[in-house]
Amino acid sequence: MKRLLVVIIVATLAYCGWWFYAAHDMRNSVADWFTEQLTAGVQADYTDLTVRGFPNRTDLTITDPVLLAADGSLGWRAPFLQVLGLTYKQGHVIVAWPDTQTLTTPNGDIAVASDGLRASVIHDNGTIVRSNLEALVLNLNGPEVSVALADVNLALQNIDVTPSSYRVALSIGSIAASSPEGVPEIGPDSLASLRAEFELSLDQPLTFDALAGAAVQVTDIALTRSEISYGAVTFKVTGNATLDNAGLATGQVTLTAENWRDAIAAARNAGDLPPALSEGLIELLTMLSTFGGNRDALDVTLGLNRGTVLIGPIPVGQLPPLRWR
Residues 6+ apart with CB under 8 A from 2: none
Say what the pLDDT of residue 188 is.
45
Query: Which of 55, 126, 114, 52 lies closest to 83, judged by CA?
Result: 52
Per-residue model confidence as pLDDT tens for the chain (325 residues): 666 565 566 555 565 666 676 677 778 888 888 888 888 888 889 999 998 877 777 889 999 999 888 888 888 999 999 998 877 777 888 999 999 999 998 888 999 999 999 999 998 887 889 999 999 999 998 887 788 899 999 999 998 767 789 999 999 998 887 755 554 555 444 567 899 999 999 888 888 776 665 578 889 999 999 988 876 678 889 999 999 988 899 999 998 887 777 777 776 776 666 666 666 666 777 766 666 556 667 788 889 999 888 887 888 788 888 876 5
Q: Is residue 261 part of a domain?
A: no
Identify the H or E element spanning 132. Answer: strand 127-141
Q: What angle do CA 35, 37, 43 make, to 5 degrees?
A: 100
Does any domain span residue 225?
no
Q: What is the per-residue pLDDT for 113? A: 95
Closest CA to 216 of 95, 99, 78, 325: 325
Domain assignment present for 138: no
Tally the domains of the chain: 1
**The pLDDT of residue 13:** 58
For the segment 195-219, what is each residue's pLDDT rounded down to a tens digit? 999 999 988 888 877 666 557 888 9
Q: Is residue 302 a part of any domain in this protein?
A: no
Query: What pairing do the DSSP bridges indicate for beta strands 108-115 and 146-158?
Result: unpaired
What residues contact residue 298 under an 8 Å CB cut-off, 6+ apart? Answer: 235, 255, 256, 257, 258, 260, 285, 288, 289, 292
pLDDT at site 32? 85
Is 78 contained in some domain?
yes
Q: What is the pTM of this model?
A: 0.81
Give the relative orientation of helices 260-269 and 275-292 as an angle to the nearest 10 degrees: 180
Residue 49 included in any domain:
yes
Instruction: Classify residue 152: in a domain, yes or no.
Output: no
What confidence score (pLDDT) does residue 147 get? 86
Mark 218-229 as b/e (b = at least 16 C-beta within 10 Å): bbebbbeebbbb
Alpha helices, DSSP H only, in 145-298? 208-212, 260-269, 275-292
State the CB neighbour count (10 A cutoff) for residue 199. Answer: 16
Q: For residues 139 and 313, give the distance between their C-alpha atoms in angstroms, rounded to a whole number.
A: 41
Residue 173 lies in a domain: no
Range of the domain at 32: 1-106
- CB 309 within 8 Å of CB 303: yes
- pLDDT at position 161, please? 63
